[in-house]
C-alpha cells in the first residue's frame, strides 16, 4: 500500500516536472549547440559561440537590457504614483459613479493595448513622441496601470482608518502618517503590483515596436528577428537572457521587500528593548 | 467642500492617464476607421472601411480562425490546469510538508516567461525538425523529417494552441488552487468515513467546488488568446491569420488606404473583447468566484 502510494507520487512528480521543465531542455541545449543536426537528440558539438555573441560580441544586448529595464522602471514608478491615491479613493471614500471610474481604470485589462496604440500612433508621430523612450513609456502605461491599482486596492482593503486616527492622536502629521503607518501596510501590495507592471512592460513587443518604430531597442525588439527564422543557437541564448531578465527583476524585488521587513522588524525589536 | 471632492482629486491622475492614452487612442482609431483624418485632408465620415471588411473573405476567415484557436486553447489549458491543480492538492494533502510550496513557485515559471520566449520554446519542441521529432526518430517511430506532422506555422494553428495551452494552464491552476485550499481537510475525512475513494472525492466534492472559478479562468484565457498578438505572429501563418495579426498586416502593409480597415478590425476586436469581458465579469460576480463560500 505504502509502496504503491510512493509509486503514484513519483509518477505525478515526473508528470509535473515534464510539463514544466521539459520544454526548456531543447532551449538550453540549443543555446550551447553548433549546427545541431536532425536526428541527433543531443547536439553533436557543444559550443559557447552563441553565448559569446550574445553577451560579448554584440554590444546591443546590454544596451537593450538597459533600455528595457529603464522603461519598465519608469513605467512602474509612474504607475505607483498614480495608483496609490486612486486605490485610496476607490476603497475608502464614498464615490458617485464608482462603476464608471472602475470601468475606465480597468478597461485596459480587457481591451488589448495595441488597439489603442495603433489608434494613437499617428497622433504620437505628429507630436514627435514616436522613436523616443518617453513615447514608449506612455504606450506602456495603460496596459500596466490597472494591475497596480488592483494590487494597491487589495492592500487598502485591509488597512483600518483607526490606525491612522491613532497616529493622528499621537500627533503625526499627514506625511509622517503616510510614511509610518500607511506605506508599510501597502508595501506588499505595491510590490505585487510593481512586479506585474515590470513583467508586462518587459515583455511588450508590438506596442514598443509601433511607437519606438524600431529605434527604441528593447530586448524583445532585438530578439524577434532571431527567433523568427534566425540562427537557432543565438535565438535560444537570447530567449534565455530575456526570460532570465524577467525572472531576475522579480526576484530582486521580492528580496528587496524581504530585506525591508527584516530591517523593520529589527528596528522594532530594538525600539522595544530601549 | 474639499472633503467632498478629495476622492475625485485622488482618482483624477490615474483616470485621466487612462482616458487620455487609452480611450483617446480608441477614439482616435475610431475616427480614422471612419475615414476622418484631417492631417491628410480627409474630413468626411464614411463606413466604407467597415463595409469592405464585412465583404472580404479575409476578415471572416480570420475571425473564424481566431475563435477556433481561442476556444481550443482555452479548453485545453483549462483541463490541463485543473488536473495540475488537483494533483498538487492531493499530493499536498498526503505529504503535508512545506516542500510542496516549491510547486507553487515552479508553476509560476511558465507564467513569468514572456510570450515570445514561450512561443519559441514551442517552435524548438514541435517544429518538423524539432526536439520531439529528433526523439521520435532516435526511437525509430519516424524515418524522415517530413514524417513529423506540421505543428508550427501550420494553417490550423496547432502551434499557437500548444503555446497557449502550455502558458495558460498554470494560470488556470493558480486561479483554481485557492478554491481547493478552502476545501476543509475534515471533508476529506468525512468522505472517507462514508467510504469514498480518491476518485469519488474528486468527483463529488472537488469538481463542484472548483467549477465556478474554473469556468471563469477558462473564459479569461479565451478573451486573452482572442486578442493577443505575439504568439500568433510568431507561430501562425500569413493567411488565415488571427485578428490581431490581420489588423497589424493591414496597418503595416504600406498603403494609407488600408489603415482605416486595420483600425476598423481593431474596433471590432475591442468591442468583442468588451462583450466577452462583461460576460466573464457577470458570471464571476454571480457565482461569487472571488469571495468563495463560508
What is the reported pLDDT for A210? 94
Which of the given ranges, A5-14, A197-206, B94-103, B210-219, has the highest pLDDT on average? Answer: A197-206
Q: Give residue A116's domain range.
A: 60-265
Render pLDDT for A30-53 as a digit per residue (tens, 0 to 9): 999 888 888 888 888 888 888 998
What percent of chain B is predicted at pLDDT more than 90?
37
What's the distance, Cα to Cα, between the start and end of chain A in Å? Answer: 58
What is the reported pLDDT for A173? 85
**Which triple of cell numbers denotes residue B150?**
506540421
Does residue A242 register a pLDDT over 60?
yes
* Dist CA B277 CA B220 (whole Å): 8
Residue A221 lies in a domain: yes
From residue A85, how far is each of A192, B6, B189 by CA, in Å? 17, 10, 47
Q: What is the mean pLDDT of residues B98-124?
A: 79
Burial class of A119 by CB neighbour count within 10 A (0 to 12, 13 to 18, 19+): buried
CATH code where residue A178 lies: 1.10.3720.10
From residue B289, how far is each of A109, A194, A212, B169 by CA, in Å? 18, 25, 40, 18
Chain A residue with minimum CA distance to B93: A9
CA A271 to chain B, closest CA, distance in angstroms equals 33
ipTM confidence score = 0.86
* Dist CA B15 CA A102 (whole Å): 9
* Dist CA A61 CA A27 (whole Å): 19
Across the interface, do A38 and B145 touch by the CB < 8 Å criterion?
yes
Please, what's the largest Cα pairwise distance for chain B?
Answer: 80
What is the reported pLDDT for B254? 67
Task: Decide: A148 and A194 in contact? Cβ < 8 Å.
Answer: yes
Chain A residue with minimum CA distance to B8: A89
Does residue B95 register a pLDDT over 70?
no
What pTM was computed for the model? 0.88
Instruction: Give the 3-state secondary structure of residue A216.
Output: coil
Please, what's the largest Cα pairwise distance for chain A?
Answer: 75
Residues of chain A positioned with their CB less than 8 A from the CB of B18: 104-105, 107-108, 142, 145-146
- Tell me the DSSP string of B168-211: HHHHHHHHHHHHHHTS-HHHHHHHHHTT--HHHHIIIIIHHHHH
* Dist CA A116 CA B32 (whole Å): 12
Q: What is the mean pLDDT of residues A102-131?
A: 92
Total of domains in chain A? 1
What is the reported pLDDT for A129? 94
Quick one: DSSP state of residue A46? B
Which of the given ranges, A142-151, A254-263, B89-98, has the highest pLDDT on average? Answer: A142-151
**Residue B294 vs residue A113, higher pLDDT:** A113
Does residue B289 register a pLDDT over 70?
no
B210 Cβ partners below 8 Å, 6+ apart?
B82, B85, B86, B176, B179, B180
The domain B53-286 is classified under which CATH number: 3.40.50.300, 3.30.1490.190, 1.10.3720.10, 3.40.50.1100? 1.10.3720.10
What is the reported pLDDT for B87? 80
A263 Cβ partners below 8 Å, 6+ apart?
none
Residues of chain A positioned with their CB less than 8 A from the CB of B77: none
CA A183 to chain B, closest CA, distance in angstroms equals 16
A17 Cβ partners below 8 Å, 6+ apart?
none
* Dist CA A242 CA B176 (whole Å): 29
- Phi, psi angles (nearest 5°) of residue A33: -100, 165
What is the reported pLDDT for B94? 57
Task: Decide: B27 and B36 in contact? Cβ < 8 Å.
Answer: no
What is the reported pLDDT for B294? 43
In chain B, domain spans: 1-46, 53-286
Task: Taking the CA atoms of A25, A26, A31 and A37 in sequence, report the sign of the dihedral they define.
Answer: positive
CA B273 to chain A, closest CA, distance in angstroms equals 6
Q: What is the mean pLDDT of residues A59-83?
A: 95
Across the interface, do A112 and B269 touch by the CB < 8 Å criterion?
yes
A56 touching chain B per CB within 8 A: no
Residue A172, number of CB atoms within 10 A of its CB: 16
**Which triple of cell numbers denotes residue A259?**
530585506
Residue B238, number of CB atoms within 10 A of its CB: 10
Across the interface, do A138 and B121 touch by the CB < 8 Å criterion?
no
* Dist CA A265 CA B17 (whole Å): 37
Residue B143, number of CB atoms within 10 A of its CB: 10
**Which triple of cell numbers denotes residue B145?**
523529417
Amino acid at each position: 500500500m505504502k509502496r504503491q502510494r510512493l509509486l503514484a507520487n513519483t509518477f505525478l512528480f515526473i508528470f509535473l516536472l515534464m510539463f514544466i521543465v521539459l520544454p526548456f531542455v531543447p532551449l538550453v541545449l540549443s543555446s550551447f549547440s553548433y549546427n545541431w543536426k536532425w536526428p541527433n537528440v543531443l547536439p553533436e558539438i557543444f559550443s559557447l559561440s552563441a553565448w559569446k555573441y550574445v553577451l560579448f560580441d554584440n554590444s546591443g544586448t546590454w544596451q537593450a537590457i538597459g533600455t528595457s529595464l529603464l522603461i519598465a522602471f519608469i513605467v512602474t514608478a509612474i504607475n505607483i504614483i498614480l495608483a496609490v491615491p486612486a486605490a485610496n479613493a476607490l476603497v475608502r471614500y464614498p464615490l458617485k459613479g464608482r462603476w464608471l471610474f472602475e470601468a475606465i481604470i480597468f478597461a485596459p485589462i480587457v481591451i488589448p493595448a495595441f488597439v489603442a496604440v495603433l489608434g494613437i500612433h499617428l497622433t504620437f508621430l505628429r507630436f514627435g513622441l514616436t522613436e523616443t523612450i518617453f513615447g514608449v513609456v506612455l504606450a506602456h502605461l495603460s496596459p500596466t496601470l490597472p494591475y497596480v491599482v488592483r494590487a494597491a486596492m487589495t492592500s487598502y482593503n485591509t488597512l483600518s482608518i483607526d490606525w491612522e486616527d491613532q497616529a493622528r492622536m499621537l500627533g503625526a502629521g499627514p506625511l509622517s502618517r503616510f510614511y509610518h503607518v500607511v506605506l508599510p501596510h501597502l508595501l506588499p501590495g505595491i510590490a505585487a503590483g510593481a512586479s506585474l507592471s515590470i513583467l508586462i512592460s518587459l515583455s511588450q513587443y508590438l506596442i514598443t515596436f509601433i511607437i519606438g518604430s524600431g529605434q527604441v531597442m528593447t530586448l524583445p525588439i532585438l530578439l524577434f528577428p532571431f527567433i523568427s527564422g534566425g540562427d537557432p543557437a543565438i535565438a535560444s541564448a537570447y530567449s534565455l537572457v530575456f526570460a532570465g531578465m524577467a525572472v531576475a527583476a522579480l526576484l530582486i524585488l521580492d528580496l528587496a521587500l524581504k530585506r525591508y521587513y527584516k530591517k523593520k522588524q529589527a528596528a522594532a525589536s530594538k525600539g522595544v528593548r530601549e | 467642500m474639499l472633503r467632498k471632492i478629495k476622492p475625485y482629486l485622488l482618482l483624477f491622475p490615474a483616470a485621466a492617464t487612462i482616458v487620455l492614452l487609452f480611450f483617446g487612442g480608441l477614439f482616435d482609431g475610431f475616427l480614422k476607421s471612419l475615414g476622418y483624418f484631417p492631417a491628410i485632408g480627409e474630413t468626411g465620415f464614411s463606413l466604407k472601411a467597415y463595409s469592405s471588411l464585412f465583404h472580404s473573405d479575409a476578415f471572416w476567415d480570420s475571425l473564424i480562425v481566431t475563435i477556433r484557436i481561442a476556444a481550443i486553447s482555452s479548453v485545453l489549458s483549462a483541463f490541463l490546469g485543473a488536473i495540475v491543480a488537483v494533483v498538487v492538492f492531493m499530493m499536498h494533502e498526503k505529504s503535508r510538508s512545506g516542500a510542496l510550496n516549491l510547486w507553487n513557485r515552479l508553476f509560476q515559471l511558465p507564467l513569468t516567461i514572456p510570450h515570445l520566449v514561450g512561443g519559441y520554446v514551442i517552435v524548438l519542441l514541435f517544429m518538423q525538425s524539432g526536439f520531439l521529432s529528433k526523439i521520435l526518430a532516435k526511437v525509430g517511430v519516424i524515418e524522415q523529417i517530413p514524417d513529423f506532422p506540421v505543428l508550427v506555422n501550420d494553417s490550423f494553428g496547432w502551434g499557437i494552441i500548444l503555446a497557449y495551452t502550455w502558458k495558460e494552464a498554470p494560470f488556470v491552476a493558480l486561479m483554481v488552487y485557492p478554491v481547493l485550499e478552502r476545501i476543509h481537510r475534515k471533508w476529506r475525512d468525512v468522505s472517507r468515513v462514508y467510504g469514498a475513494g480518491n476518485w469519488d472525492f474528486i468527483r463529488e466534492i472537488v469538481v463542484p467546488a472548483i467549477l465556478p472559478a474554473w469556468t471563469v479562468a477558462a473564459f479569461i484565457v479565451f478573451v486573452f488568446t482572442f486578442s493577443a498578438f505575439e504568439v500568433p505572429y510568431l507561430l501562425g501563418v500569413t493567411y488565415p491569420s488571427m485578428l490581431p495579426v490581420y489588423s497589424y498586416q493591414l496597418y503595416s502593409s504600406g498603403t494609407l488606404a488600408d489603415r482605416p480597415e486595420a483600425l476598423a478590425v481593431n474596433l471590432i476586436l475591442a468591442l468583442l473583447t468588451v462583450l466577452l469581458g462583461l460576460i466573464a465579469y457577470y458570471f464571476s460576480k454571480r457565482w461569487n468566484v472571488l469571495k468563495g463560500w463560508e
